[in-house]
Amino acid sequence: MTTLVVDGANVVGSVPDGWWKDRAGAARRLHERLLVADTPYDEIVLVLEGQAKGGVRAGRDAHVLTVHAARDGDAAIIEQARRAGESGGQVVVVTADRALAANVAPAQVLSPSWLLDRL
């Protein structure tokens, strides 16, 4: 099983398209793109925090699991990467946050631009 854990805030924030005016809408657009993306991952976990949570309900839609961070997004991303890693599969985390990247080891970390190029 291969799992892609997406730092929603980081991916949305990497494109200066006015997302800050409608965080929920930006999260919804990312979720929609992930649903139709042709990726080699068995599961995509989209972690949302703050106002972005209003754009997508928590739960599973096909191969995309949306997680609403109870506290901060980083803690939820670390937890999701740990859970996915416990199953023995490959885990890839998409973020540009260096501190977060150091805390999800041994997961592979890729940049938001890597993901956006594939959507």
CA dist., res. 31 & res. 53, Å (int): 11
Give the CA diameter of the chain.
40
β-strand partners of 54: none
List, for residues 101-119, the tens digit of each pLDDT value: 999 988 999 999 999 999 8
Q: Rounded to two decimals, what is the model's pTM?
A: 0.94
List, for residues 39-94, the tens digit of each pLDDT value: 899 999 999 999 999 999 999 999 999 999 998 899 999 999 999 998 888 999 99
Tokens of 28: 């919804």
Domain-wise residue ranges, the chain: 2-91
